Structure 1
Amino acid sequence: MTSTYRPQGVYSPVLTPFNADLTPAPDRFVRHCRWLLDQGVGLAVFGTNSEANSLTVAEKSGLLDTLLEAGVPPERLMPGTGACALPDTVELTRHAVKAGCSGVLMLPPFYYKGVSDEGLYRAFATVIDQVADSRLRVYLYHIPPMSQVPISLALIDRLLKAYPGIVAGVKDSSGDWSNTAAMLERFQPQGFDVFAGSENFLLANLRGGGVGCITATGNVNPGPIVNLYQRWQEPGADELQKGLDATRAVFAKLPMIPAMKAAIAWKTGRNEWATVRPPLIELNGDQRTQLQQQLDGVGFVLPKADLLA
């Protein structure tokens, strides 16, 4: 049964560890998820930085089952379920709902570009209608820099009217604060929850009535991000935000997924953590040196790194 828990706070698109043969490494995946939960971070498994679109539906379903069998609370899971093929989205979404996950993060079908709001409405509506479960909570995933398929305010408005309570919120990874602010102003009074797509906008989002962030670097810098979420109304919140921005900027200078995996490999001494699935490639030696030096420069630590080894 699905919990009535309403996701809020800091979530991270959990990195997917791979073995040398490029198969997922379930044991390390579970350890990483437990490590994040221990620091107050929710699990947006199968997001962009999870290399989700390099995973099959069967792999994602299997990893989700592995987490549940390991005792990870389903209400702290918000799996990414959006895919180009609607039957894949329906299958994974149905699986997540039956597992008791508190919500799903849903990309639009992203291969075809220049599609209309009507087409996108039909895509989301088809999934909701075919899953046909009142427990479903959809969090729309707006990430036009990657998908090139934006989710407009007009589309959100239409979906909210057609599926009140089921269309529950959004992750705005546009990188455009004015767009996030418009979502907050227009939809937050209707109980529609807005997550910023990066901790860079966490403080502004909370001040605007948003509920938190779903952020890549929650994988490697969870404690300070959660700290700001907990203390955003206290004096000094702006300085905490600046600290988060400085650490994020180091990772952002390099390909984000390989950089985060390289940081974990460095701090745990487990080189297999650096493995990514093609077409991504791991950082080269110069890039790893740059990353380590600059992370040292901002005082980066990975607490209890032995738990990830």
Structure 2
Amino acid sequence: MSFAIQGVYCAAATPLKDDGTPDLRLFGAHARALLDEGCHGVALLGSTGEAASFGLCERMDLLEAALRAGVPADALLPGTSVPSVTDTVALTRHAVQAGVKGVVMLPPFYYKAFSDEGLFRFYARVIEGVADDRLRILLYHIPMLTGVPISHSLIAMLREAFPDTVVGIKDSDGKIENMQAMSARFPGFGVLAGADPLLLPVLQAGGAGCITASSNVVARELRTVYDHWNDPARADEVRAAQDTIVAWRNLTNAYVQLPTVKTMLARRRGDLGWLNIHPPFTPLSEPECEKVWAEMARLESI
């Protein structure tokens, strides 16, 4: 089945300068490299990209930096949601006017204990505020951070009202059963796994691909799984790629994931500027960095 948004997308980390502002040059180079390494596209400014720690202008600047670096607009999936409808409309309109493939949109996450009807109204106001037929939205289900789950009933409401706009979901809750159920219930609605090891089972369930943190460092292996998962002649190759993905994903979780991913990128990209991170996160300690880098060297030698 074909989906409006499908493939291997990197939940790209965002490099920072020492003063905490985004390093636009380094980010552009990273985004370009991710495509060269096998990603179909770059999902910038999500959880791994520290989106909630940037201002609106910085977020727009990062999107434009990727474009200047030669990343095609239709390979970009920026996160554009904040609790304010007005600011979400502004970020989303900027992205759509730049020609992006789609946007990844969290539910409003400050207030809690509201109904699906309230969430529907938030998304409806954003869609109507952007007022552009080119808009394609991936919902973002990550209740461990937002405290606001995306229910199947909400998806049904949005699909009925905006079938050409609300085209899929990134599910980062880690429950393959939910991804399987969405794929079965909503034909043509692209379900993308938010955890690297779940790409294979999501594809087997009729899903659309993945948006993951570990693709910052294992894009090639994820692309191997995506391209050949259903080819019996490549089963051994897919199995080996899956084992590699799991090993690297486990390494990203050796410490707090976000600073660990950035530590891995400092070695992979050859630039210690990648160690910078927004508070409340803190960089890994020097001994922790050395352990991560040693394990990277071991995995690379296999």
- The alignment's TM-score, normalised by the length of structure 1, stands at 0.91
Q: Letter of the 1:144 partner, please give it.
A: P
Unaligned runs of 5+ in 2: none
TM superposition shift of 1:300: 6.8
Does the CA-based 8 Å contact 1:7-1:102 persist in structure 2? yes
Distance in 2 (CA, whole Å) between partners of 1:202 and 1:270 is 29
What is the identity, as a one-letter code, of the residue corresponding to 1:215? T
Do the aligned residues in 1 keep the contact of 2:5 with 2:167 (CA within 8 Å)?
no
Report the equivalent of 1:286. 287
Displacement of 1:54 in angstroms is: 0.3
Give me the whole-angstrom Cα distance separating, in 1, the residues matched to 2:267 and 2:75: 28
Counterpart for residue 10 of structure 1 = 8
Match of 1:123 in 2: 122
Matched, 1:44 2:43: yes
Q: Aligned pair in 2 of structure 1 residues 269, 38: CA closer, same or farther (>3 Å)?
A: closer
Secondary structure in 1 aligned to 2:91?
Answer: helix
Q: Does 1:157 align with 2:124?
A: no
Map of 1:1-309 to 2, 5 A cutoff? 6-41=4-39, 42-187=41-186, 189=187, 191-234=188-231, 235-236=235-236, 237-299=238-300
**How many Å separate the matches in 2 of 1:140 and 1:267?**
31
Cα distance between partner residues in 2 of 1:48 and 1:108: 13
Instruction: Number of aligned residue pairs: give it.
Output: 295
Using the alignment, how far apart are the partners of 1:73 and 1:229 within structure 2? 21
Segments of 4+ in structure 1 off by > 3 A?
Answer: none
Q: CA deviation at 1:239?
A: 3.8
CA distance in 2, matches of 1:268, 1:16: 13
Secondary structure of 2:191's counterpart equals strand
TM-score for both structures, normalised by structure 2: 0.93
Task: Verify the 8 A CA contact 1:7 1:76 in the aligned structure 2.
Answer: no
- The one-letter code of the counterpart of 1:270 is D
Question: Residue 220 of structure 1: SS of its match in structure 2?
Answer: helix
Q: Is the 8 A contact 1:140 1:170 kept in 2?
A: yes
1:139–1:167 contact (8 Å) kept in structure 2 = yes
For residues 104 and 275 of structure 1, what CA distance do their matches in structure 2 show? Answer: 26
SS of equivalent to 2:9 = strand
Provide the aligned C-alpha RMSD in A: 1.6
The offset of 1:85, in angstroms, is: 1.2
Distance in 1, Cα, partners of 2:165 & 2:17: 37
| Partners of 2:260 and 2:194 in 1: CA distance | 18
Cα distance in structure 2, aligned partners of 1:268 and 1:58 = 26
Would the alpha carbon gap of residues 85 and 197 (structure 1) be closer, same or farther in structure 2, given more than 3 Å must change?
same
Change in Cα spacing, 1:24 to 1:300, as seen in structure 2 (3 Å) is: farther
Amino acid at match of 1:104: V
8 A contact 1:247–1:300 mirrored in 2: no
